């Protein structure tokens, strides 16, 4: 048995299996379809075989194979039938290993170029806009359980907001829009830099995005945007709110910058951008 490498025993909390498969297929110039493997192994002889990707993983319906070399250990020349099953995690490790062997993974986030494979480690946080709005929504729901929603002449502005159905609908729409189609930004903080990670809930462990927040994880991915000295990345991009330029609308600014809501958003109101230094990475895997 080969020596176990600690770095290979990772636990991915997020794994984009489509990217892993596509890249491996590109590296291998396509996968070979095989049904079974039978090879004759003699002492001091090494035979190349085709290993079957099993029937109980995400790639089974594609009926694909992974090439590999396995040393024979038989002394009498007997025929040995081998069938090896690859899981999505083992395929990820194979991809990561090949990228490492070719020295294609950049681990210095201060010296990045667009398109670099990069591995970083840092603390993961929820999209701050969603976090603030969700906190406000929970407070509104709780407050309205114990208050009379009928308008009062002496009602403060904050309380009017809480009881206003239009305001509540706007908060709901913002939260849903920022997580439309299962897409959601996660923010990583590493080496005094913010990293925006666009994720898809379909690739999370148990389809649960909350698995990764408030933890220290490694991320392997590809760089698609860099703003080191100036610039910013909008957390409303690719949403209907970005197209409407919602964060620039006077009504939006007035609504969320009201002093009575400072307990939720701070003195500057709700912030919809992450300012430099910030980079954006398409994550292939988030793991520990």
- Domain positions in the chain are 6-103, 104-127+181-235+272-288
Q: 89-93, 111-115, 125-129, 260-264: which has the highest mean pLDDT?
A: 111-115
pLDDT of residue 253: 61
For residues 157-161, give the mean pLDDT.
56
Domain 104-127+181-235+272-288 part of CATH 3.40.50.620: no
For residues 87-100, give the mean pLDDT.
92
Q: Which residue has the tokens 């039978």?
A: 38
Name the CA radius of gyration of the chain, rounded: 25
Q: Which residue has better confidence, 16 or 53?
A: 16
The reported pTM is 0.74
Distance CA 197, CA 188 (A): 7
Strands 193-200 and 278-287: parallel
Q: Which residue has the tokens 């923010």?
A: 187
Convert 48-75 to b/e letters by CB count within 10 Å (16 or more is b): ebbbbbeeebebeeeebbbeeebebeee
Helices first, then strands: H and E counts in the chain: 8, 13
Q: What is the pLDDT of residues 23-39, one digit of tens each?
A: 998 988 776 544 344 44
Beta-strand ranges (E) seen in 180-252 are 183-190, 193-200, 216-227, 232-234
% of residues, the chain, pLDDT over 70? 63
Q: How confident is the model at residue 60 (pLDDT cuts 50, 70, 90)?
A: very low
Q: What is the mean pLDDT of the chain?
A: 76
DSSP class of 41: -
Q: Which residue has better confidence, 157 or 216?
A: 216
Distance CA 93, CA 11 (A): 11
* 214 φψ region: left (φ > 0), alpha (ψ -120 to 50), beta (else): left
């Amino acid at each position: 048995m080969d020596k176990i490498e600690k770095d290979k025993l990772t636990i991915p909390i997020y794994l984009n299996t489509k990217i892993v498969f596509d890249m491996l297929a590109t590296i291998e110039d396509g996968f070979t379809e095989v049904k079974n493997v039978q090879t004759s192994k003699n002492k001091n002889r090494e035979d190349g075989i085709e290993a079957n990707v099993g029937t109980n993983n995400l790639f089974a319906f594609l009926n694909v194979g992974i090439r590999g070399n396995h040393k024979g250990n038989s002394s009498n020349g007997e025929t040995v039938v081998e069938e090896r099953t690859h899981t999505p995690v083992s395929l990820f490790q194979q991809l990561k290993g090949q990228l490492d062997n070719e020295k294609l993974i950049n681990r210095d986030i201060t010296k990045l170029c667009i398109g670099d494979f990069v591995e970083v480690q840092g603390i993961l946080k929820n999209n701050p806009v969603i976090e603030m709005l969700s906190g406000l929504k929970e407070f509104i729901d709780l407050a309205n359980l114990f208050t009379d929603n009928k308008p009062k002449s002496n009602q403060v502005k904050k309380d009017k907001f809480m009881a206003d159905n239009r305001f509540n609908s706007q908060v709901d729409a913002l939260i849903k829009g920022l997580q439309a189609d299962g897409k959601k930004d996660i923010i990583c903080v590493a080496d005094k830099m913010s990293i925006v990670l666009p994720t898809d809930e379909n690739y999370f462990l148990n389809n649960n995005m909350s698995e990764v927040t408030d933890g220290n994880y490694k991320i392997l991915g590809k760089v698609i945007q860099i703003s080191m000295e100036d610039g910013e990345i909008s957390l409303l991009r690719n949403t209907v709110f970005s197209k409407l330029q919602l964060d620039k609308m006077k009504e939006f600014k007035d609504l969320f910058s009201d002093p009575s809501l400072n307990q939720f958003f701070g003195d500057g109101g709700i912030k919809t951008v992450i300012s430099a230094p910030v980079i954006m990475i398409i994550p292939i895997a988030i793991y520990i």
